[in-house]
Amino acid sequence: MLRRSTGGARGALKAAGKLARSFATVEKADCVVIGAGVVGLAVAQRLALCGRDVLVLESAPTFGTGTSSRNSEVIHAGIYYPPDSLKAAFCVRGRELLYEYCSERGIPHWQIGKLIVATGPSEVPKLSSLMDRGARNGVDDLRMMDGPEAMRMEPELQCLKALFSPVSGIVDSHSLMLSLVGEAENHRATFSYNTTVVGGHLEGNSMHLHVCETKNLDENGNGQFPLQPELVLVPKVVVNSAGLSAPLLAKRFHGLNDQVIPPAYFARGHYFTLANTKNPPFRHLIYPIPEDGGLGVHVTLDLNGQVKFGPDVEWIDGVDNVSSFLNRFDYSVSASHAERFYPAIRKYYPNLKDGSLEPGYSGIRPKLSALQQLASDFVVQGEEIHGVPGLVNLFGIESPGLTSSMAIAEHIVAKYLT
Ligand SMILES: Cc1cc2nc3c(=O)[nH]c(=O)nc-3n(C[C@H](O)[C@H](O)[C@H](O)COP(=O)(O)OP(=O)(O)OC[C@H]3O[C@@H](n4cnc5c(N)ncnc54)[C@H](O)[C@@H]3O)c2cc1C
Ligand SMILES: *[C@@H]1O[C@H](CO)[C@@H](O)[C@H](O)[C@H]1NC(C)=O
Ligand SMILES: *[C@@H]1O[C@H](CO)[C@@H](O)[C@H](O)[C@H]1NC(C)=O
């Protein structure tokens, strides 16, 4: 529901709810951001600071309930990604912006550094390629360590060799998002929670968004499509930052060339926490060599000293479009996954005790490529791709999307929205 009014949109939405569903109210708007995850929030904050009139539409009751609160909260250095990729560029730039922002605003974060470890002889050369790649991506200060040196740094660690990344760190993503929301609101942005964009259509050259109150979808959803909008918004700028559902939503923008919308795939990652850790076994982030689809089951610490292991990679089926808008994905963490975690973790942490892992939480990666396909890059589509002025679609914003959020915002606002 709209909390504050922008151009009468609140009244319109209310009225529309009471009227016959077939009579949608039409309202103009300046900038609409779809999705209040960390990326949408960074875009909204930046647009608001530029003096634009911003309306954020979020299907959930509050911000940050999707992938943005279901991740490792690691500030990545930018090592892994192919040179010249958006992931590499946005990660390195985003990391700089994020550290600066967190320092200025007093957002809890900690540059604790990370060790990528080789535990078998075949993995040792992979560390050198990662170091080269990192250097090409502009990640400074990477340092190769022999096993004994790394194990002196981390007495519980077992490894043959390690790559030390001092610029990696952790951030309290909730505090970060809270700060972005506050700043956007201070610059007159409006947040409309419990509000779902169910689709849209192209009229002339502009995207008309079809908007419903989420609770009405709950009641009347029943798989009936197309959904009747209660409100049609006609913004100058639309940023589709709907995360896992961004491609499914774009497919419901009638008139948009759907040839350019990538297919959506989903890979869940589970986390387990370490029980009874008064003394965390590690002081740095510890990462194995990356696996297909993810970075490997690694050690993360959060700012409360909680130790967590994860995420693994489990490819899962998607859900239908409206269920995805309502975040009805399966986030369960079955205790049985722990069986695969113990041997993976013991490769670098041999003292891990039986029974010490407790199910934590899970997150789902918004993938654009399927298992065994080449990993895809972030996809940012503006007018040059789809021909619609003012529309920006963000697809496949998986890791390092948290680290990259402020750089993505900087890029799209500079390129498309000012
Ligand atoms: C397991 C895992 C671990 C990760 N670890 C890290 C890490 O350590 N470091 C890092 O940098 N990155 C990490 N990431 C990536 C990072 O979490 C994401 O890139 C980032 O959170 C994406 O933010 P977003 O705003 O694009 O999406 P989301 O947070 O998913 O936000 C999208 C929002 O859109 C809303 N929405 C959806 N459909 C609609 C609709 N139709 N109408 C209105 N609202 C809608 C949703 O409710 C949601 O709030 C990880 C990701 C995963 C899955
Ligand atoms: C959103 O909906 C929930 C119930 O689904 C309700 O408790 C909450 O007050 C609503 N929030 C807003 C801002 O309307
Ligand atoms: C949305 O999902 C429904 C139910 O799965 C399906 O029938 C419909 O074709 C989908 N619409 C689009 C545009 O993908």
Per-residue model confidence as pLDDT tens digits over 243-278: 999 999 999 999 999 999 999 999 999 999 999 777
> Greater confidence, 335 or 21?
335
Q: Could you tell me the pLDDT band of residue 23, with boundaries at 50, 70 and 90?
A: low
Q: How far apart are CA 116 and CA 163, in angstroms?
A: 5
Per the CB < 8 A criterion, the answer to whether 285 and 112 are in contact is: yes
**CA 250 to centroid of ligand 3, rounded, Å:** 12
Fold matches, 7-68+175-261+376-416 and 112-167+264-367? no
Homologous superfamily (CATH) of 112-167+264-367 is D-Amino Acid Oxidase, subunit A, domain 2 (3.30.9.10)
Listed by start position, the domains of the chain span 7-68+175-261+376-416, 112-167+264-367
Ligand 2 pocket check for 193: Cβ under 6 Å: yes
State residue 226's pLDDT score: 57
**CA 321 to centroid of ligand 3, rounded, Å:** 6
Average pLDDT over residues 55-75: 98
CATH number for the region 7-68+175-261+376-416 comes to: 3.50.50.60
Helix, strand, coil % (nearest 5) of the chain?
35, 25, 40
* Mean residue pLDDT across the chain: 92
Per the CB < 8 A criterion, the answer to whether 34 and 239 are in contact is: yes
Average pLDDT over residues 303-307: 89
Residues with CB under 6 A from ligand 1: 34-40, 57-60, 65-68, 71-74, 76, 196-197, 241-245, 249, 269, 311, 325, 327, 363-365, 397-403
Q: Could you tell me the pLDDT band of residue 280, with boundaries at 50, 70 and 90?
A: very high
Per-residue model confidence as pLDDT tens digits over 202-238: 999 999 999 999 998 866 555 554 578 899 999 999 9
State residue 14's pLDDT score: 45
- Whether the pLDDT of residue 132 is over 80: the answer is yes
State residue 6's pLDDT score: 44
CB atoms within 10 A of CB 353: 10
Residues with CB under 6 A from ligand 3: 223, 225, 251-252, 320-321
Measured CA angle at 24 (ends 18, 26), to 5 deg: 125
**CA 227 to centroid of ligand 2, rounded, Å:** 21
State residue 220's pLDDT score: 57
- Whether the pLDDT of residue 2 is over 50: the answer is no
Residue with CA at minimum distance from ligand 1 atom 34: 35
State residue 292's pLDDT score: 80
Average pLDDT over residues 183-195: 98
- With 0-12 / 13-18 / 19 or more C-beta atoms within 10 angstroms meaning exposed / middle / buried, residue 325 is buried
Q: Could you tell me the pLDDT band of residue 20, with boundaries at 50, 70 and 90?
A: very low
Q: How far apart are CA 35 and CA 250, in angstroms?
A: 13
Per the CB < 8 A criterion, the answer to whether 190 and 6 are in contact is: yes
Q: Could you tell me the pLDDT band of residue 7, with boundaries at 50, 70 and 90?
A: very low
Per-residue model confidence as pLDDT tens digits over 321-352: 999 999 999 999 999 999 999 999 999 999 99
Output the pTM of the full model.
0.94
Task: Give the ligand whose atoms come closest to the C-alpha of residue 222.
Answer: 3
Per-residue model confidence as pLDDT tens digits over 352-388: 999 999 999 999 999 999 988 999 999 999 999 999 9
Highest mean pLDDT among 11-15, 61-65, 310-314: 61-65
State residue 407's pLDDT score: 98
